């Protein structure tokens, strides 16, 4: 991992911290660091959920344009795979994820937020995909994940124009899920996923996989994905624990092991 990206674990929550002042521009080092941090978070049993956080002032204001400006076509053919990899790694993390957005989440920064399950934004945050103003388009998943999240018409508006949206508009169109004062963003994001600490980790993982994979296929295929994952959970200890607890005691949290 790199010093520009850290995985910090406390109380069962992993925080992937972007730390490249002043704007957390997403250069290749940060992109590689995000891939490594996601892999570590996925593997660690003491991490139940993940918050992605850029700090109190800014989430990430986009890719490192100075790094990209001198690239040739063949350079970008090679680099574009990494652009997809770091958001794929986050989207594919088999645990609940939430982006804690302060300041700007633009371009690649917005694409990082889009790769999370939820987004909590500061009331003064700005989000957008301004790549069109550089003569390019989003390349780290923005055209695909944004359209799936807010619908094609709204996605085309944002991508074609490159305009920024404020937190309230982002909330209204479904780009973010909660808007809170800037000082409360990180705590709110943690609070959103703390409920998964000590929970049935494999069931949560299966639920995320069923929803995400199901969105990409027809209903019949999605139902088969669900059926297979549902049946597979009968091989876990948590399934036995949860059902036995319900039969014996009814209400109340079961003593899940995450196994």
Report the CATH number that the domain containing residue 188 is assigned in CATH: 3.90.226.10
97 within some domain: yes
Q: What is the spatial distance between Cα 133 and Cα 160, in angstroms, rounded to a whole number? A: 9
22 and 106 in one domain?
yes
227 and 175 in one domain?
no
pLDDT score for 77 = 86
Over the Cα atoms of the chain, what is R_g?
19
pLDDT score for 65 = 87
66 and 33 in one domain?
yes
256 within some domain: no
| Residues 60 and 108 sit within 8 Å (Cβ to Cβ) | yes
Give residue 207's pLDDT band: very low, low, confident or very high (50, 70, 90).
very high
Residue 80 in tokens = 């574009």
| Residues 126 and 168 sit within 8 Å (Cβ to Cβ) | no
100 within some domain: yes
244 and 156 in one domain?
no
User: What is the extent of the structural domain holding 55?
Assistant: 5-196
50 and 128 in one domain?
yes
| Residues 167 and 145 sit within 8 Å (Cβ to Cβ) | no
Out of 40, 131, 169, 226, pick the active-site residue: 131
Any idea which residue has 């406390």 for tokens?
Answer: 10
Q: How many domains is the chain built from?
A: 2
Q: Which residues contact 154 (CB under 8 A, 6 or more apart)?
A: 173
In the chain, pLDDT over 70 holds for what percent of residues? 100
233 and 173 in one domain?
no
Q: What is the spatial distance between Cα 53 and Cα 123, in angstroms, rounded to a whole number? A: 16
Mean pLDDT, residues 121-136: 97
239 and 113 in one domain?
no
Best CA proximity match to 21, nearest among 41, 4, 1: 4
Out of 111, 169, 184, 257, pick the active-site residue: 111
State the DSSP code for 55. Answer: -
Q: What is the spatial distance between Cα 193 and Cα 120, in angstroms, rounded to a whole number? A: 11
56 is catalytic: no
225 and 107 in one domain?
no
156 within some domain: yes
259 within some domain: no
224 is catalytic: no
Of 214-223, 226-235, 248-257, where does mean pLDDT reach its minimum? 248-257
Q: What is the spatial distance between Cα 232 and Cα 255, in angstroms, rounded to a whole number? A: 20
| Residues 206 and 95 sit within 8 Å (Cβ to Cβ) | no
254 within some domain: no
pLDDT score for 117 = 98
Residues β-bridged to residue 59: none
227 and 179 in one domain?
no
């Amino acid at each position: 991992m790199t010093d520009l990206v850290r995985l910090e674990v406390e109380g069962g929550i992993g925080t992937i911290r972007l730390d490249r002042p002043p704007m957390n521009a997403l250069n290749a080092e940060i992109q590689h660091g995000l891939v490594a941090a996601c892999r570590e978070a996925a593997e660690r049993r003491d991490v139940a959920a993940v918050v992605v956080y850029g700090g109190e002032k800014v989430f990430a204001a986009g890719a490192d344009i100075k790094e990209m400006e001198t690239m040739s076509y063949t350079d970008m053919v090679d680099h574009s795979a990494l652009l997809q990899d770091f958001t794929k790694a986050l989207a594919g993390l088999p645990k609940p994820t939430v982006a804690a957005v302060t300041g700007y989440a633009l371009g690649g920064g917005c694409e990082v937020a889009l790769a999370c399950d939820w987004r909590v934004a500061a009331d003064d945050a700005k989000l957008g995909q301004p790549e069109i103003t550089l003569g390019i388009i989003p390349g780290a998943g923005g055209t695909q994940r944004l359209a799936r999240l807010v619908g094609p018409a709204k996605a085309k508006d944002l991508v074609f124009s490159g305009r920024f949206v404020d937190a309230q508009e982002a909330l209204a169109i479904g780009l973010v899920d909660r808007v809170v004062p800037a000082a409360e963003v990180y705590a709110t994001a943690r609070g959103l996923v703390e409920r998964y600490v000590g929970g049935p980790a494999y069931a949560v993982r299966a639920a995320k996989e069923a929803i995400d994979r199901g969105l990409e296929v027809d209903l019949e295929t999605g139902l088969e994905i669900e059926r297979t994952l549902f049946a597979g959970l009968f091989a876990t200890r948590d399934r036995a624990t949860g059902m036995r607890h319900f039969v014996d005691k009814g209400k109340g949290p079961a003593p899940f092991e995450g196994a």
